[in-house]
Amino acid sequence: MPRGISLTEFQKGQAIAYINDGKTILEITGILKIGKSAISEFLKNPDAHGKREKTGRPRKLTPKEQRNSDSLKKEGLASLLRSVNLDLPI
């Protein structure tokens, strides 16, 4: 399900100021031209708004396994180059 647009810093500040002035969420949505669910969700937890971690397919290798794999690849390439150099006639 797609996410809606995030509130700008200016809109966040305005929403907080209007709530502190005693305006209702419906009045704020009319003033800011933003959906009431966006305003109410922001006001429930302003610090976490727009900071949800992106989901996606998990990696198959951990960072440590990836480093080990990379080092093995480099060692394999180096040993291959050494064997090629040894087989050449001088």
The pTM (predicted TM-score) of the whole model is 0.53
Q: Which two tokens stand for residue 61?
A: 């290798």
- Domain coordinates of the chain in residue numbers? 9-51+61-87
Backbone angles phi, psi at 36, to 5 degrees: -70, -30
List CB contacts of 46: < 8 A, sequence separation 6 or more. 12, 16
Structure confidence at residue 81 (pLDDT): 65
Distances (CA, A) of 17 to 11, 47, 49, 77: 10, 16, 17, 63
- b/e map 5-23, b = 16+ CB within 10 Å: eebeeebbebbeebeeeee
In order along its 90 residues, the chain shows pLDDT tens digits of 456 677 889 999 999 999 999 999 999 999 999 998 889 988 888 887 777 777 788 888 888 888 888 887 777 766 666 665 655 565
